[in-house]
């Protein structure tokens, strides 16, 4: 996998996490467009914030092959970032 593919899959999982949040938290009233945009930003923000810990695509592919535990952690953090930002924005009162 290249750095670009890892980044794109990460962003996609952020979008999936953001749109899956209403299944876990019932009072989310944001639309699908808002959740998708928040999923992108939440995913990117959390991965960039934790990039120094080896969660960025460059660190995952540093040896030439994918470091699978770091890759799975990257994907999980991306999912969580999208979901968490949707939850925070909804709790702040930005509703549809």
Mean pLDDT over the full length of the chain: 86
**Which pLDDT value is given to residue 14?**
93
Q: How confident is the model at residue 19 (pLDDT cuts 50, 70, 90)?
A: very high
- pTM of the complete model: 0.87
Residues 36 and 51: their CA atoms lie apart, in Å, by 22
Residues whose CB is less than 8 angstroms from the CB of residue 48 and which lie 6 or more positions away in sequence, other chains included: 56
Owner of token pair 């960025």: 56
């Amino acid at each position: 996998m290249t750095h670009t593919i890892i980044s794109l899959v990460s962003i996609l999982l952020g979008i999936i996490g953001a749109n899956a949040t209403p299944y876990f938290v019932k009072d989310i009233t944001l639309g699908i467009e808002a959740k998708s945009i928040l999923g992108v930003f939440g995913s990117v923000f959390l991965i960039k914030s934790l990039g120094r810990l080896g969660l960025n695509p460059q660190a995952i592919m540093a040896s030439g092959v994918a470091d699978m535990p770091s890759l799975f952690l990257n994907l999980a953090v991306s999912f969580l970032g999208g979901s968490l930002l949707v939850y925070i924005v909804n709790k702040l009162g930005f509703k549809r």
